[in-house]
Amino acid sequence: MVINTNTTAQSAAAQLGQSSAMLSKSLARLSSGSKIVSPADDSAGLAVSMKLNAQISRTNAAQSNVGNAISFNQTQDGYLQKVNDALNRMSELSVLSQDVTKTDADRSLYNTEFSTLATYVGDASTKDFNGVSLFSGTALNVTSDSDGNTFSNVGVNLGNTTYTTATGSSVDTSAHAATALTNVKAAITQLAKDRANIGSNIEALGYHSDQLSSLSNNLSAAKSRITDVDVAQESTTYAKNNILVQSGTAMLAQANSMPQSVLRLLG
């Protein structure tokens, strides 16, 4: 029996140190909700989770861009619905002005309304969405994924000659009314094509939005499996380590008291 070197106590202290470290790690995981408290816990998992987290952020940003583009197209169509109403009425006025029982004075009244509606259509062509022209005709490249790929959002140009020719017509005479009818019918045909393009834009962007939402959810689930702590499992580990720390403390106290038995030999 020796006094200077208590190997039993040293072994117990080493075991207690390991148990205390494991207990601290379990406590840190439970309190943070993450399995990776420090890079040393899972260096490869940390690297993968960082890349996934960055991709999730980019995906959410792309989804926001797509959502704004959908709103842009919906705003366009809202204006075009009213433009459609205006052109329909203008075509009706063009036919009414060709009535042989009407005088030019009557047609002048029709022409006043026709001109007012034409002005409305012209004003609609100048509208914008957050400073971006709604009807310039320019195709917009909408970011559609986390890698910066784009979807070409077909533009609508309310200032093209088909529309301006119609809005520049008049129905003040029967002959002018006949020409105006032809021009307005062409504008209505063009408007139908433009609204169809907007509908296609909204449909395609909706698919992109759904895909991005699904991707974001799947990426989040993948990241969760790497970084998020399983509370039930970690609670069990914490309880085990807590017991080991308490029993190790008790055993270390016993090991430290063993050299005192030497006193009995000296007595």
- Does residue 2 lie in a domain region? no
Judge whether 85 lies within some domain.
yes
Evaluate whether residue 147 is within a structural domain.
yes
d(CA 184, CA 165): 8
11 assigned to some structural domain: yes
Residue 265 pLDDT = 64
Whether 182 is covered by a domain: the verdict is: yes
| DSSP notation for 26-40 | HHHHHHHSBS-SSGG
Q: Is residue 1 part of a domain?
A: no
Run means of pLDDT, 10 residues per run, the chain, 267 residues = 66 75 73 74 85 94 96 96 97 96 94 96 95 94 93 94 96 96 97 96 96 94 81 75 74 68 63
Same domain? 21 vs 105: no
Total structural domains within the chain = 2
pTM higher than the cut 0.75:
yes
pLDDT of 1 = 52
Identify the domain containing residue 18 by its residue range. 7-33+229-266
d(CA 132, CA 76): 11
Same domain (yes/no): 15, 57: no
38 inside domain = no
DSSP code at position 261: G
Instruction: Examine the domain organization and report whether 261 and 206 are in the same domain.
Output: no
Tell me: do 191 and 70 sit in the same domain: yes
How far, CA to CA in Å, does 61 sit from each of 57, 129, 147? Answer: 6, 19, 11
| CA 38 to each of CA 25, 47, 48, 225, 242: distance values in angstroms, whole numbers, following the listed order | 10, 12, 14, 17, 21
The answer to whether the Cα torsion of 4, 9, 11, 17 is positive or negative is negative
pLDDT digits (tens, 9 = 90+) for 132-171: 999 999 999 999 999 999 999 999 999 999 999 999 999 9
167 plus 238 within the same structural domain: no
Assigned token pair, 208: 């992109």
- Asked if 252 and 182 sit in the same domain, the reply is no
200 contacts 70 by C-beta, under 8 angstroms? no
| CATH number of 213's domain | 1.20.1330.10
Query: What confidence tens digit (pLDDT) does each residue in 43-77 have?
Result: 888 899 899 999 999 999 999 999 999 999 999 99
